[in-house]
Amino acid sequence: MRRFRKMRKPGRRKSISNIKDDEWIKLKQTLAYNLSSYSRDYDDNLEIYCNVIDSNELSRIIESHIFPDAKLDSDIRGIPQLLEAVKESKYSRDTSTIYNELKDFIRRNDDQFKWIITRELQKLLKQKKKENFPIPKIISNLGRTYNLLDEELQIISIHYLWEEWNVLGQTLRGNSASDSFKTISGLCNLSTSHYAQLIRIESNLQKKGLIRTHSRHMSANEIGLSPSLLFAINSGDLNLINSGLFKEIRVSKYKPDQFAIPSLEIDFIISALKSNKPVLIAGEAGIGKTEFAYAVAETLELSLRDLSTDSSLYSNNLSKSTPQDRILMIRVASNLLKKNKELLLIDEADTILQSAGGFFSFFGNDGSYDKGELNTLLEDMDVPAIWITNSIERVPSSALRRFAYVYKFPHPDMNVRNRMLKEKLAVVSKGNISCLIDSITKRYDLTPSAMERMITVVNTAVESNSQPGSKSFSDTLESYLDTASKGPLRHDFRKLPAVSESFNPELSSASISLNEIIDRIKKRTKLGKPSRLLFEGAPGGGKTQFSLYLATVLGKEAIIKKPSDLLSKWVGEAEQNINAMFRDAELSEAVLILDEADALLSDRSMAQRSWELSQASEFLQGIQNFKGILIACTNRVDSLDPAIRRRFHQKVTFGTLERNMINTALKHMFPDIIFSTSHIILLENGPFLMMSDIANAAEMLDTEDSLRADMVVTEIIENAKNRDMSKAIGF
């Protein structure tokens, strides 16, 4: 049967000599006598009796009841060895030697000696038996600390001896599950029903994390003290129950309102914690969830106790910890927390929350457990606690409902990233790099953890290479960003969509001028109204670049979403992605740009599958409720769903270049080449031109050593001819 692992941490566990102390001896003697009422196995009982009787008393019984008969019977063997053991035990006061010789003596001779010795030892133990259950001092102190009942202290005492007293443990483990249950409850001076009530999963002892079970089966062999409690009792110091339980205490440098979180959401989180209810914060890794928890604790004037993620001290398996080990840690921590003074943080709670309900059992993983245990834990918690996880997708809905508030932590917006980067760089940079910081936050989407790693590495690199001619801090920083944005962790150093350096808004053949669009957006924003723009036109007209430029002029971050970012092969996931897109854009107050929108907002009358209808409906609802700036770019405006088209406040058409714009566009893209009138006329009378035709020509001819005007004109005309105006998706 499975049993609980004893604490065997190198250098941390003391000898278990405390069970040989007088107060434990008295308890062991009482148990040894009581055990005779439940077990008739003389071999097991004799060893237990010998273990708790003083060596002198044991020697006296042997001398009185064995040696006289041995002198009369020459067939009795082993007398010299037993006599020598008796003498040795009187000197060493150790009963182990005499018991071994006594056992060997009984084996050689008739079992009547076993019966005689056992009977005499029972008589002696009856005289020593205490009327009241003797509770050792350290267990009594535990009772006062945790406000435990006498019956609960008896259970802890007996289970401790079961774990640490090998003789008793071997005896009980050798019994059947039902016999062990009856025996252990009897040793606790409790009926089996009362004992079962006190050790069930919902019991006070389990809630406080003092005992634990391997299963929901009511078997005494599946129940034991928590490893942390065993460690504390063995060490003689109850303060060690929380050894390794919490991380080092620190304070936050921020306030909750410095994060990109609406004030109303912060108020809800704080109100839930004030009512001593758990709060769940979910969000991608490295975006500041933990730091926000520390900031909330500062606002509440509470000391935040960050629960350790190392559950090895609370595990029964030396090689691997389980979610239940951390649940045990949470129970212990909840009871050790100082009321109205401390806040509990349970970071990296993904495994605990996602393993409930047996999800991982489908993959052959034994780390899953009954979700009822998690639900009970959440219901029992009466201290303020913040749980942090990266995702709530696989968390049972029954567990989510037991959190007072669940919040999806947003990705830091440009303003938050800019402020954090300035604060972090101010510590290591000596010069004024405000312009560099502004540039970085506009070009890169850095997570807070990425900033920490970047600054540490760059600062070390600069200090290590302080020779003349070495790269400056700014140059090293730029090099690091360029390299990191292409590496395995590029999602932490994501390059943001940016306007092309060659883009000129005056060369965009838009039906409405840029200034007019900006004025309309600002007017609606001032009135607290959203702005929804539909940019339509042939491929290559500059719709996407115009959208990015518009976001730059408005001083906002741009979020571009393409069909590949939202659509999924899994049923229902696309709808979740669409919902998250609108939520994140609104929280960060960014300009949301839907590129190739015709693939996302197609006419529902043409839908052939149910998921196409559900996606269109999700978009329709999202567009209607979105309170920010939305721009949808499409090459085929007629293919959009009519209901969705009506939701846009302004439609802007991007056409081909007008004749009077061609010469200006050529000078913009080819400033070093002189084009003749004949070249201009040739382009004006040729196929319709888009700005992309000229831009692509500049890119293709960029490496030519002796570039001539006729070569440029030929390349532009060729691009225009090859461009298929009927394509649904262009470049």
Which tokens hold the place of 581? 């897109």
β-strand pairing of 211-213 with 223-225: antiparallel
DSSP line for 400-451? HTTSSEEEEPPPP-HHHHHHHHHHHHHHH--S--HHHHHHHHHHEEE-HHHH
DSSP line for 272-318? HHHTT-EEEEE--TTSSHHHHHHHHHHHTT-EEEEB-S--GGG-S-S
Residue 692 near residue 731, CB atoms below 8 Å: yes
Task: Please give the pLDDT value at position 597.
Answer: 85
User: How far is residue 236 from each of residues 5, 281, 650, measured CA to CA in Å?
Assistant: 19, 39, 76
Task: Please give the pLDDT value at position 254.
Answer: 86
CA distance 372 to 101: 53
Q: Which three-class secondary structure state does DSSP give residue 531?
A: strand
User: Mean pLDDT, to the nearest integer, of 538-563?
Assistant: 88
CA distance 155 to 162: 10
pLDDT in tens, 411-464: 888 888 888 888 888 777 766 778 888 888 888 888 888 888 888 888 888 888
pLDDT in tens, 195-227: 888 988 778 888 888 887 755 555 666 788 888
Task: Please give the pLDDT value at position 7.
Answer: 37
Residue 293 near residue 345, CB atoms below 8 Å: yes
What mean pLDDT, rounded, does the chain reach?
Answer: 80
Instruction: Please name which of 544, 541, 543 lies closest in space to residue 661, comparing C-alpha atoms.
Output: 541
User: Mean pLDDT, to the nearest integer, of 508-534?
Assistant: 88
Q: CB neighbours of 235 closer than 8 A, spacing ≥ 6?
A: 13, 14
User: How far is residue 402 from each of residues 278, 330, 345, 368, 420, measured CA to CA in Å?
Assistant: 8, 16, 17, 19, 34
pLDDT at 609 over 70: no
Task: Please give the pLDDT value at position 343.
Answer: 95
Task: Please give the pLDDT value at position 17.
Answer: 41
Instruction: Between 470 and 613, name the one with better pLDDT.
Output: 613
Residue type present at position 125:
L
Q: At residue 653, what are phi and psi to the nearest 5 degrees?
A: -100, 135
User: Mean pLDDT, to the nearest integer, of 718-723?
Assistant: 84
Q: What is the pTM of this model?
A: 0.68
Percent of all residues in the chain with a pLDDT value above 70, rounded to a whole number: 80
Which tokens hold the place of 226? 């928590």
Task: Say which range, 170-179, 210-219, 332-341, has the weakest mean pLDDT.
Answer: 210-219
**Residue 117, H or E segment:** helix 112-128
Task: Please give the pLDDT value at position 78.
Answer: 56
Task: Please give the pLDDT value at position 1.
Answer: 31
pLDDT at 109 over 80: no
Instruction: Please name which of 667, 626, 666 lies closest in space to residue 647, comparing C-alpha atoms.
Output: 626
CA distance 466 to 445: 29
Task: Please give the pLDDT value at position 414.
Answer: 83
pLDDT at 14 over 50: no
Percent of all residues in the chain with a pLDDT value above 90, rounded to a whole number: 15
Instruction: Please name which of 183, 378, 350 lies closest in space to residue 276, comparing C-alpha atoms.
Output: 378
Task: Please give the pLDDT value at position 112.
Answer: 67
pLDDT at 299 over 90: yes
CA distance 62 to 113: 10
pLDDT in tens, 493-515: 888 888 887 888 888 888 888 88
pLDDT in tens, 615-670: 778 888 888 899 999 999 998 888 888 888 888 988 999 988 888 889 898 998 99
Instruction: Between 676 and 314, name the one with better pLDDT.
Output: 676
Instruction: Between 320 and 719, name the one with better pLDDT.
Output: 719
User: Mean pLDDT, to the nearest integer, of 338-366?
Assistant: 75
Which alpha helices (H) appear in 300-413, and where do they start and end? 323-336, 350-355, 371-380, 397-400
CA distance between the termini of the chain? 68
pLDDT at 331 over 90: no
Reported residue count of the chain is 731
Task: Please give the pLDDT value at position 130.
Answer: 60
pLDDT tier at 731, thresholds 50, 70, 90: very low
pLDDT at 131 over 80: no
Give the count of beta carbons closer than 10 Å to the beta carbon of residue 669.
21
pLDDT in tens, 262-295: 899 999 999 999 999 999 999 888 888 999 999 9
Task: Please give the pLDDT value at position 219.
Answer: 62
Task: Please give the pLDDT value at position 646.
Answer: 86
**CB-count exposure of residue 523 (10 Å: 0-12, 13-18, 19+):** exposed
User: How far is residue 32 from each of residues 3, 38, 39, 51, measured CA to CA in Å?
Assistant: 22, 10, 10, 9
CA dihedral 554, 556, 562, 566 (to 10 degrees): -140
Residue with tokens 């914690």: 273
pLDDT at 68 over 90: no
